[in-house]
Amino acid sequence: MKRDSREKTFTLSSLMIALTIALLMTLSFTSVNAQTLPAMSLTVTSPNGTSQTLDNATIGNLSSYSGYGGFWKNGAPNSYANYTGVPLTTLCNLVGGVNPNTFVDVISTVGSYYDFNFSCTQVVNGIINATSSGDDYPLTTANLLDVQVNQTQPITMMLAYEFANGTLIPSSHGPLYLTFVGPEGLLVVPTSLSGGKPWVSSVTNVSIWWIGDFYCNHTVDYDDIVYFVQAYIAANSATPTVNPRCDFNCDGQINYNDIIAFVDCYIAANTP
């Protein structure tokens, strides 16, 4: 039976409309997800000194993560939002990753130099102790009712480049902003710290160091052994003075446990 020409015209028109709608949906999806990140440069360095420098295109192509975070300070929430960025573990894995003999230094060189150190456990598992200049303090969380709670679930540390709705991190904190996101609310910032630490604005470097590399030359060698021995003697003298850099388990002493930690680090740093 011969098909009516009107039916053919209707079929073609319907097909054209469907294709047009599909194309518009594709274009709309592409324009949202292809947002160009601002110019940025992030250098990630391994404990042995090898490094990679990442630009906005490279960072934008890494697997992203989104989550809510903020910090509680002076009785009020600050910077609480849903952030999107690259987890710190993802960046560290580009240069071999972290291990128990290393720590991670997150650095900003925009304006004045600023850095903050995190242990392997903190970076990988989100455990609640952090170190700043050798002084430990607890990282607890609080909900929006200002009820402080002990953290029971991991915090994800990441360099955020945008909010989850696609808005870029403002230049006052970006283009890369060290954020702490998780399911339990806000990070409590101790009153002894200022500026919302340990959130770091305008991050430019992520460096992984051996915990026993006291001279920061990407190895653990004879000079570091001498440094540790001197610190051990000073900490166990009649008038003890504890060098926090050698107190690896942060118990206020330099003892047998720290010796074991240093030896483990020395072996790891000198094993091909």
For all residues of the chain together, what is the average pLDDT?
A: 77
- Look up the pTM and report it: 0.76
Structurally, the chain folds into a number of domains equal to: 2
Residue 3 has pLDDT above 60, yes or no: no
On whether both 152 and 201 belong to a single domain, the answer is yes
84-133: pLDDT as tens digits: 999 999 999 999 999 999 999 999 887 767 778 888 877 887 654 443 33
Lowest-pLDDT range of 186-200, 236-250, 255-269? 186-200
pLDDT-derived band of residue 35, with 50, 70 and 90 as boundaries? Answer: low
132 lies in some domain: yes
On whether both 186 and 51 belong to a single domain, the answer is yes
Percent of the chain with pLDDT over 90: 44
pLDDT-derived band of residue 227, with 50, 70 and 90 as boundaries? Answer: very high
pLDDT score of 184: 63
pLDDT-derived band of residue 206, with 50, 70 and 90 as boundaries? Answer: very high
pLDDT-derived band of residue 149, with 50, 70 and 90 as boundaries? Answer: very low
pLDDT score of 10: 46
Cα→Cα distances 59→92, 102, 214, Å: 13, 24, 31
Domain CATH number, residue 61: 3.90.420.10
Max mean pLDDT range (17-21, 78-82, 212-216): 212-216
On whether both 146 and 186 belong to a single domain, the answer is yes
On whether both 228 and 204 belong to a single domain, the answer is no
On whether both 230 and 166 belong to a single domain, the answer is no
9 lies in some domain: no
Residue 246 has pLDDT above 50, yes or no: yes
24 lies in some domain: no
On whether both 182 and 259 belong to a single domain, the answer is no
Beta strands 114-119; 102-108: pairing state: antiparallel
On whether both 185 and 94 belong to a single domain, the answer is yes
On whether both 48 and 182 belong to a single domain, the answer is yes
Lowest-pLDDT range of 55-69, 125-139, 254-268? 125-139
HSE, CB side, 13 Å, CA atoms: give it for residue 240: 11
> Under 8 Å CB-to-CB from 127, ≥6 apart: which residues?
119, 121, 154
On whether both 78 and 120 belong to a single domain, the answer is yes
pLDDT-derived band of residue 218, with 50, 70 and 90 as boundaries? Answer: very high
Contact 181, 67 (CB under 8 A): yes
pLDDT-derived band of residue 41, with 50, 70 and 90 as boundaries? Answer: very high
Domain containing residue 242: 222-269
On whether both 71 and 156 belong to a single domain, the answer is yes
pLDDT score of 123: 84
258 lies in some domain: yes
Q: Can you tell me the distance from the alpha carbon of 135 to that of 129, in angstroms, rounded to the nearest whole number?
A: 10
On whether both 47 and 178 belong to a single domain, the answer is yes
pLDDT score of 124: 84
Mark which of 190, 210, 230 sits at the end of a domain. Answer: 210
On whether both 255 and 120 belong to a single domain, the answer is no
Percent of the chain with pLDDT over 70: 68
